[in-house]
Structure 1
Amino acid sequence: MALWRCDVRVSWRTQIFSLVIHGILTLLILLSPWPENYGLVWVTLITLVVFECIRSQRNIMACRGELVLQSGLHLRWHKRDWLIRGTPWMLKSGILISLRQVGGRRTRRLWLAADSMDQREWRSLRQALLHAASAQQRHDR
């Protein structure tokens, strides 16, 4: 039985934030005074920032899909079962969840932005995670 279910969309705010940060870094590298013999360092830094921006955008796109919060601290995401490790970090703008794949060693951190789902789904997820975390704390005592 699912406590919560949602089709998570791409977060436009997260994408824009990532692009702005990488754009600022690129501008700082481009506008900084570089000695003539530092051309290789300059090109390397620009290349690293561009590839990190691409990687960041791919990671943001990978966070979409159906997400199901099952009993307790179990999630079903990308056709795999995951266990929530620790207490999720909750902000008004998003939730950071540390996951460990059930029956495996693979771990992942999942950022769920508030704008990636409807407000009703967002409130319901926060409430379900708070309830599951408090139940887990009572069980650990």
Structure 2
Amino acid sequence: MAQWRCDVRISRCTQLFSLLTHGVLVLLILLLFQGIRSQKRLAAVRGELRLLADWRINWHGREWRLVKKPWMPDYGILLTLHPMEGNKYQRLWLVLDNMEREEWRYLRQRLLYPPVSDDEET
């Protein structure tokens, strides 16, 4: 004859604690991977950007054209680019802290008031 007997069950508090703990761990792992992915995407857009005539841009060794007028809030510039060869659009955010103040002012000025070419004057 047994001196003591019990039917062991998992308590609701233990189930809830386990669920929350594992849920938090999964969210942290997902956030970590999302952060790594975001950093890789940010690193991929680094490089020299040149504004050329006729709303063209040289970036990453390719020539792009501005599809529409850039959106320019005070803190950044959104460029919608289309490659001269190919058909994959690219949206590129240039943020105020990406460059020196003088470069920033000059770029905004050139995008707001593009120079008039010799052909357009006549």
TM over 0.5, shorter chain? yes
Structure 1 equivalent of residue 41 of structure 2: 59
Structure 2 equivalent of residue 83 of structure 1: 65
The structure, 1 or 2, with the larger RCO (C-alpha pairs under 8 Å, 6+ apart) is 1
Residue 120 (str. 1) matches residue 98 (str. 2): no
Whole-angstrom CA distance in 2 between matches of 1:37 and 1:118? 49
- Structure 1 spans left out of the alignment, 5+ residues: 1-33, 136-141
Task: Give the number of equivalent residue pairs.
Answer: 100
- Structure 1 residues 120 and 49: alpha-carbon distance in aligned structure 2, compared to 1, 3 A threshold: same
Larger radius of gyration: 2
For 1:68, which of 50, 61, 73 is the aligned residue?
50
For 1:110, which of 66, 70, 92 is the aligned residue?
92
- Structure 2 spans left out of the alignment, 5+ residues: 1-15, 117-122
Whole-angstrom CA distance in 1 between matches of 2:79 and 2:66? 7
Deviation at 1:40, TM superposition (A): 5.0
SS at 2:103's partner residue? helix
User: 1:63–1:111: 8 Å Cα contact kept in structure 2?
Assistant: no
Whole-angstrom CA distance in 1 between matches of 2:48 and 2:57? 10
Taking every aligned residue pair, what percent have the same amino acid on both sides? Answer: 39
More helix by share: 1
Deviation at 1:69, TM superposition (A): 0.7
TM-score by length of 2: 0.69
Over the aligned positions, Cα root-mean-square deviation in angstroms equals: 2.2
Structure 2 equivalent of residue 12 of structure 1: none
SS at 2:90's partner residue? strand
More strand by share: 1
